Structure 1
Amino acid sequence: MATTTDPVPNAGTTVDRPSETPENPGVGEPARFPYRTIALGVVGSVVLMLASLGAGGVLVNDPVLGTGPLSWIRFGHGKALATALLYVGFGLVVWAWVRLGRYVLARRIGSRPIVVAALCWMGPLLVAPPLFTRDVFSYLGQGAQLLHGLDPYAYGPAALDVLPDVVQNVHPLWQTTPAPYGPLFLLVAKGIVSVTGNNMIAGVIVTRVLLLAGLAGMLWALPRLVRHLGGNLPVTMWLAIASPMTVIHLVGGPHNDLLMLGFLTIGVLAALERKHALAIVLVTVGMLIKPTAAVALPFLVWVWANHLPDDRSLPRRFVRAVVPSLGIFGAVFVAGTWVSLGSFNLGWITGLQAPQLIVNWLNFPSGVGEIIYTMVNVVVDVQPSPFITVARLIGWALLAAFVVRQWWLARHGGTEAILRMAFALLSVAILAPPTLPWYLTWGFVILSAFPWRRLHLAAVVGVSMFLVLVYYPTGEQSLYDWWFIAAVVAASLYGAASLLRPDPLGLIAAWRRLPRSD
């Protein structure tokens, strides 16, 4: 399909614009509110919600279906049917999202319809069982530990002798492992459990509602970030708010990354608007929710240093920025930890080792280790752990070198520092074990406010679909179900191509050409 290149309003560079074709109405048509596309996504979201009652992260003792007449959808053929229906719902949501993307590229809609669409698609998922994850049950279990006087950084939820429904629904892998989350988030989880108690359905719903504060922060900050970073607002909202990564993973999951991203985006905006002390405070608070937000802090120091009067050398300006930054960080870190845990407990730092128990090829170094192990094991009977351990150590070294390089390249501050910061956050998600699909939102949300080209947007569609589907709806990984992964890759490529051209394989057109009987 031929393309032309035109400037996009409010963008700092150019993006590819689709040529006018019968399938792709011409640029400049009167803007229309995409009611049918939004409705398509709502139907998909409702189907996701209903199917998740049998195929999602359902409770061990399900009070909704229980042993009633519909309990059959949780087992055997009924569960297979519910799973198939869930994937249909997912397909409808993605279809609606891609259609919105084509409207954005044709400049037929602004950002408001995209936000309305995303919120409408999120609505049914607020009351659904967890989708493609069971992490929320761990959140509640660790909050229950803190509520009942157990240190979540020393014990797993299995140590609790109260709230049996909370404990039994935590994934077996996390029953005896310490919490990897920041103390401020555990305080939030403690507050949720203090209200919802042993009611897991209420706990999941309240968790989702509270995490929407992070979404509200993103909705407030992203339009302002676009003005600083040169992006195009409809594209940014389509990427960061309406994407399946946000709608299905961060909200449908749900994941506490959403709350961290709210503080991160507002903090980055504050730094660009020369409110540097506030920026350090906000990003440190984000770190006390999800520790990886700390990666952004050294980059914000460069932004501060370059906003100082240039009558001094850069090293001297850096010192003038880093000293107050360290002071603010230390004060917020100590106060936040003390308020959350009742003491200056640093056990949560060692708790970061717990997720490294997850080993799969989605993490690039782990995948390389598994490939080498497989090749060697053909000749010699060996264990996989040494290969994975060595590959991960090399991955850590590469990650450290890459992040340090990005930090040094950010020394001139401005938008370049924010771009390098986003690259660093993405590299942590890819190279530091483990790599979980929603981790890539850390850097991606910031990158969404930069200019994008059409081919890159198509790649985002494919990657987003892949990163949702590589886990089963129950929260278990599907990464070693090779036939399933082949189907996922094919579907993701088709989704990516669909942004560039509706019906890329001509399936709908062929169906329309079939003879019809009278």
Structure 2
Amino acid sequence: MAGGHGEAILAGLLGLAGACLVVATAGRLALRSGVELPTDWFGLLIPVQLDRASALPAFMIIGVALLVIGWLQLCLLARRGSISLSQTGIIIAVWCLPVAVGPPILSLDIYSYVAHGAMLTADLNPYRNGPNILGNQPSLLASDPVWRMSRAPYGPLALALLKAAYGLSGGTVLGTVLILRALALAGVIVILGCVARAADPRRRPLALAAAGSPVVILQLLGAVHLEAIMVALLAAGLLAARAGRPIASMMLLTAATAVKWPAAFAIVAVAVWHAGTPVPGTRPRNTGPPDARPPHARAWVWARLRPVARDVGVVSASGLVLVLLIPDGLGWLRSAATPASGLTLYAPTVGLADGLARLGDIADMKIQFAQALNLTRTAGIVVTAGVMLRLLATIRARNLAATVGWGLLTLAVLGPVLYPWYLTWGLIPLAMATDRVRLSLLGTVSAVGAFLALPHCELLFANLPGATPWLQRQAPVIAISTLFLVLISVVILTRRRDSWSTTTLKR
């Protein structure tokens, strides 16, 4: 155990050093031209010159790598039983500390949240207009120029929270950011608590370690994405379903969907689970026409339909209340596809489209990238729908949280766009089912996700003529190749470490 204690300290220090490096660099690198922030956050948000080479991206990448290594070490220690639940929680809390007190990192999305809160306060509809309608207000000037004309894709509960945060801050950008960071921290705490409680008592340290991944710490807490609230409600809803509290479960899952729509798959999955739950003493004994069935057969049918009716009623009532939180609450359905207007070069659908276009050039076929992208995105949606239907059809064959996790992870990976925080949709439910899911899978997806969407890494090559245009042209190939290398490396590292640990224990 002494060796395990020393390894735990080493893992904690590696992760802490990595988190501090990311906080020191990733806030500055997330800035864009034309962005005016209300504070430099004690020098951590001083703008970087985007036309000159900089070593900051290298330090950011090293920081992410250290945090990933420390996290993988923590997971392996938890898997071996060399660390307790409280020790695991302390290490994750230490990693979260610099991220929680530092500035928003890796993304400017939080400032778009502030702008949407400002719009609602001014009686403007974020579902009809982009933040640019605000004019030269501080909340607009702080937001990402890429999204200033885009409509809000978030649900009515999310916008209601943004409006409340903006109002509580007195209409200040910094005050709203601090309130939203506090909400994100509360969301992460709820996520970790739900995952630990859902796991088998003997595997709770591993489940907690899996949930405290770099993606959760850096993207949900550090970048303050709304997934912190959505996934917290999702995890709480799944935990309530596991505890046999169907009404609370459906209310929580409806609230999660009213933050971001992908959580709707969890509503369907839990409803199917409830409908298929055997009811003692109500097995049918007649397969004839309904009128010919004896009373006990009709009772069995009603016993199956009753939970469906209950779930539909709870979701409908909860959804109505949530839609009424803001004006035009259903307008969210019109703008839910806003993120798909972007282009993430490392998304599988984008990489496949780029490959098709290149093959077309080689074969002397005129295949435009835009055409190939429409094809691959459609194929991704079809495959995702097929996977979800298959999961629902075989829902009794696996843990409920695992069903939700697999479905949402498939949606995140094969969707039109892939952002690293989307991975938490599936990773957290899968962490709740760690007794049924391999650690190598969670480790690989989390490790790969931690390196996605790192901002302005091209500054490493700014002094090399032609390097940036070449990297942009080859970005899909480079991204997909790098992801496969990371995947293979994590699998090999996990297996070797696990093999080494087993050999050591036997000795």
Query: Which interval holds the TM-score relative to the shorter structure?
Result: 0.7 to 0.9
One-letter amino acid matched to 1:405 = R
| Residues 1:288 and 1:423: Cα distance change in structure 2 (over 3 Å) | same
- Give 1:352 shift: 1.0
One-letter amino acid matched to 1:350 = R
| Equivalent residues of 2:257, 2:263 under 8 A apart | yes
One-letter amino acid matched to 1:234 = P
1:423 match: 406
- Give 1:198 shift: 6.1
1:136 match: 110
1:364 matched to 2:348? The reply is yes
Query: What TM-score comes out, normalization by structure 1 length?
Result: 0.80
Match of 1:348 among 318, 332, 350: 332
| Equivalent residues of 1:407, 1:421 under 8 A apart | no
- Give 1:471 shift: 1.3
Mapped partners of 1:484, 1:368: distance in 2: 12
Query: What TM-score comes out, normalization by structure 2 length?
Result: 0.82
Match of 2:475, SS?
coil
1:297 match: 267
What is the correspondence of 1:267-282 to structure 2 with a 5 Å cutoff? 267-282=237-252
Mapped partners of 1:365, 1:193: distance in 2: 37
| Residues 1:391 and 1:492: Cα distance change in structure 2 (over 3 Å) | closer
Q: Which stretch of structure 1 is more off in the superposition, 164-173 or 244-253?
A: 164-173
Mapped partners of 2:247, 2:44: distance in 1: 55
Match of 2:196, SS?
helix
Count of residue pairs the alignment pairs up = 468
- Give 1:417 shift: 3.6
Mapped partners of 1:97, 1:331: distance in 2: 41
- Give 1:195 shift: 3.3
Mapped partners of 2:52, 2:87: distance in 1: 37
Mapped partners of 1:491, 1:195: distance in 2: 43
1:126 matched to 2:100? The reply is yes
1:436 matched to 2:419? The reply is yes
What is the correspondence of 1:311-322 to structure 2 with a 5 Å cutoff? 311-313=282-284, 316-322=302-308
Mapped partners of 1:226, 1:82: distance in 2: 39
One-letter amino acid matched to 2:370 = S
Mapped partners of 1:371, 1:256: distance in 2: 33
1:240 matched to 2:206? The reply is no
1:396 match: 381
| Equivalent residues of 2:25, 2:56 under 8 A apart | yes
| Equivalent residues of 1:32, 1:108 under 8 A apart | no
Mapped partners of 2:163, 2:46: distance in 1: 34
| Equivalent residues of 1:426, 1:444 under 8 A apart | yes
Instruction: Report the structure, 1 or 2, having the larger helix content.
Output: 2
Over the matched positions of the two proteins, sequence identity in percent amounts to 23
Unaligned runs of 5+ residues in structure 1 are: 1-26, 505-518
Match of 1:373 among 354, 357, 366: 357
Mapped partners of 1:123, 1:231: distance in 2: 27
One-letter amino acid matched to 2:475 = Y
Unaligned runs of 5+ residues in structure 2 are: 285-299, 459-470, 500-507
| Residues 1:289 and 1:71: Cα distance change in structure 2 (over 3 Å) | closer
| Residues 1:175 and 1:52: Cα distance change in structure 2 (over 3 Å) | same
Match of 2:391 among 378, 393, 406: 406
| Residues 1:381 and 1:357: Cα distance change in structure 2 (over 3 Å) | same
> RMSD in angstroms over aligned alpha carbons?
3.4
1:448 match: 431
Mapped partners of 2:416, 2:253: distance in 1: 22
1:18 match: none
- Give 1:330 shift: 0.7
One-letter amino acid matched to 2:168 = V
What is the correspondence of 1:60-459 to structure 2 with a 5 Å cutoff? 60-62=35-37, 64-65=39-40, 74-75=48-49, 80-161=54-135, 164-196=137-169, 199-227=172-200, 232-241=203-212, 243-305=213-275, 306=277, 308-313=279-284, 316-339=302-325, 341-342=326-327, 345-378=329-362, 379-410=364-395, 412=396, 416-451=399-434, 456-459=438-441
| Equivalent residues of 1:409, 1:417 under 8 A apart | no
